[in-house]
Amino acid sequence: MLSNSKLRFFLLRLALLLALAPFLLLTAFNQPFFDDFRNGYWMREHGTWGVQLWLFQTWTGRFITTFIMTVLNPVAYGWLGGVKVVAATAFMAQWASLAYFLRTLLHTALKVACSWSQAFWATGLLLVLFCNAAPVPFSFLYWFCGIVAYQLPLIGLLTFTALALRAGWGPVRARWRNAGLACFPLVLALTGNELTLVQAMPLLALLGFALPTTARPKLMLWLIIGAVAVGIAAAAPGNWVRVATMAPPSDPYYAYRWLVLIPRAVYSMVLFLLKPMVGLSTLAAATVGLWVGNQTRATNHSPLARSQWMAVLLAFSSLNFIGFLLFRYLIVGAPLMRAQNEILLVLLLSTGALGWLAGQQLTDAASSKATRLRQLQLLPLLVLGGLFGAGHVPEAWRELVTSAAPFDAQMQARFAALRAAQRAGTPQLTLPPLRLPYGRVLIPLRQFSSDIEFDIDLSIGCEGTINSVMERYFEVPKVCSEAAAAPLPAAN
């Protein structure tokens, strides 16, 4: 029979898998959306390299993610089902990058025993908290261009940080090799998304403070390569077009945004943390981190010096505040909903790590007073138990059971009808709207929620952004949607 300890860990892992399973399984029913199609027909119109220059001049300097969104976009080659593979792969890659970062931080830099299994399950707990509380999971987990713009740069930042730690404290013979390898994910992080760019700043500053003196040349290498990459991205004329579009000078706060920048950024952050699921998930990450840190506390630990604590707290505060500052300056408003996903994941990771560090640093006297905390052996299970009562976990299960398969079938029928209309030269195609019992995580629809970022269905009538995108991608002159339209026959 299993001992109590083994039974608790078995139940914990089972609960983790049951909470994460619907999010991964929903990728099997994923469909391309909006910019996935737009980048596909832009590449068709401008060519493989022409579209890079065109986007650089007209919209964005994110040259790495632009290349991936166009040249490596499965939709550009007519493989619409490729977004399923990308979403599932990115989900597992995010898990792997988080686990690699955590193990490297603990095992290599902090010299604390941490197996791959421990890092894997700790990351699983972090991902569960994130998936359950993510402001808009669709745009982070399932939208191809959202994955490229937000998941990939964050994976790059995590991988860079792990390699940088190995370059500073890893095996001596491999340090320069790790330093060289770190340059590639660093460029991805800095040029893939402006949010990840600013998040990299406090991490680089903390590395500069903490790295051994012998690693200073490696830090200079990263700073030089990073500065060149950022310089190229910042020089893009399209960046200024996009900024002007997102934050027009007509905004009432535009002229004096510098004067109100910090107070309004603080206000945005407070509102973000006051969201029930965000606040509770952050508290859960801190509590579990503190509990694990105290459970694994070594009796001969060396407490951090005051200057080290100040550096850690300053980096933590900057890392989690700088995104709000960025958006309050660029768009004179709160962070975009799709950007809040990444902000939350970074917040949960850094909060859990800070809680663990605090638990490790408890004095013997404080640790003896924390007996009750150490005796809460079921704490992680209690945290996970709450996930099945609120947040996106129950929503994802409901969507998987009720709507995922019909959504996939109806979209396949819609794509088949569009292809048939293109071959026949039909001047106008009228399609029915999606008819589903539920939609929020993979299938955000206005009829089921009023606080979603994107409605992924066609607009009723013949006008609408998604309607026009379908027209250009499938080369059908007019695409309309009517509630009275008959259901489409199943695609072969």
Task: Confirm whether 488 is domain-assigned.
Answer: no
What is the rounded CA–CA span in Å between residue 52 and residue 246?
Answer: 21
Task: Give the pLDDT band of residue 330 (cuts 50, 70, 90).
Answer: confident
Task: Confirm whether 489 is domain-assigned.
Answer: no
Give 434's DSSP letter: P
Average pLDDT over residues 206-217: 94
Q: What is the pLDDT of residue 348?
A: 97
**pLDDT tens profile 233-257:** 999 999 888 887 877 677 777 777 7
What does the angle CA 7 – CA 11 – CA 16 come to, to the nearest 5 degrees? 150
Mean pLDDT, all residues of the chain: 91
Q: Which two tokens stand for residue 457?
A: 């269905």
Q: Closest Cα partner for 485 from 414, 433, 446?
A: 433
Which of 366, 398, 430 corresponds to the end of one domain? 398
Task: Confirm whether 190 is domain-assigned.
Answer: yes
Phi-psi region of 78 (alpha: psi -120 to 50; beta: other; left: phi over 0): left
Is the pLDDT assigned to residue 375 strictly greater than 60?
no
Is the pLDDT assigned to residue 305 strictly greater than 90?
no
Our count of domains for the chain comes to 2
Q: What is the pLDDT of residue 377?
A: 55
Is the pLDDT assigned to residue 227 strictly greater than 90?
yes
Among 48-52, 125-129, 218-222, 287-291, the minimum mean pLDDT is found in 287-291
CB 58 within 8 A of CB 146: no
Q: What is the pLDDT of residue 146?
A: 97
Question: Which residues 6+ apart lie within 8 Å of 197 measured at CB?
Answer: 189, 190, 191, 230
Which of 398, 424, 439 corresponds to the end of one domain? 398
SS3 129: helix
Whether 317 and 253 map to the same domain: the answer is yes
Which contiguous run of DSSP H or E holds residue 182? helix 175-192
SS3 365: helix
Q: What is the pLDDT of residue 269?
A: 97
Share of the chain above pLDDT 70, in %: 92
Is the pLDDT assigned to residue 365 strictly greater than 70?
no
Whether 454 and 348 map to the same domain: the answer is no
Q: What is the pLDDT of residue 300?
A: 58
What is the rounded CA–CA span in Å between residue 343 and residue 411?
Answer: 31
Average pLDDT over residues 410-432: 97
Whether 339 and 437 map to the same domain: the answer is no
Task: Confirm whether 275 is domain-assigned.
Answer: yes
Average pLDDT over residues 173-192: 97
Is the pLDDT assigned to residue 487 strictly greater than 70?
yes
Whether 100 and 247 map to the same domain: the answer is yes
Q: Which two tokens stand for residue 111?
A: 């010299």
Q: Which two tokens stand for residue 312?
A: 């850690």
What is the rounded CA–CA span in Å between residue 357 and residue 286?
Answer: 10
Give 427's DSSP letter: S
What is the rounded CA–CA span in Å between residue 372 and residue 252?
Answer: 53
What is the rounded CA–CA span in Å between residue 390 and residue 395?
Answer: 8
Give the ranges where 193-296 is alpha helix by DSSP (H).
194-210, 216-234, 237-246, 257-273, 276-295
Q: In terms of residue numbers, what domain contains 172?
A: 4-398
Task: Give the pLDDT band of residue 423 (cuts 50, 70, 90).
Answer: very high
Phi, psi of 428 (to 5 degrees): -145, 135
State the Rg of the chain over Cα: 24
Whether 236 and 191 map to the same domain: the answer is yes
Whether 426 and 353 map to the same domain: the answer is no
Place of tokens 């986007």: 55
Whether 96 and 188 map to the same domain: the answer is yes
What is the number of H-type helices and E-type strands within the chain? 23, 2
Q: What is the pLDDT of residue 443?
A: 96
Task: Confirm whether 492 is domain-assigned.
Answer: no
Whether 34 and 75 map to the same domain: the answer is yes
Whether 375 and 411 map to the same domain: the answer is no
Q: What is the pLDDT of residue 116?
A: 93
Task: Confirm whether 257 is domain-assigned.
Answer: yes
Q: Closest Cα partner for 415 from 448, 381, 452, 458?
A: 458
Whether 369 and 412 map to the same domain: the answer is no
Give 403's DSSP letter: T
Task: Confirm whether 490 is domain-assigned.
Answer: no
Average pLDDT over residues 345-350: 98
Which of 398, 426, 447 corresponds to the end of one domain? 398
Q: What is the pLDDT of residue 96?
A: 97
Pairing assessment for the beta strands 428-431 and 478-481 based on DSSP bridges: parallel
Average pLDDT over residues 366-391: 60
Task: Confirm whether 491 is domain-assigned.
Answer: no
Whether 325 and 465 map to the same domain: the answer is no
Whether 317 and 423 map to the same domain: the answer is no
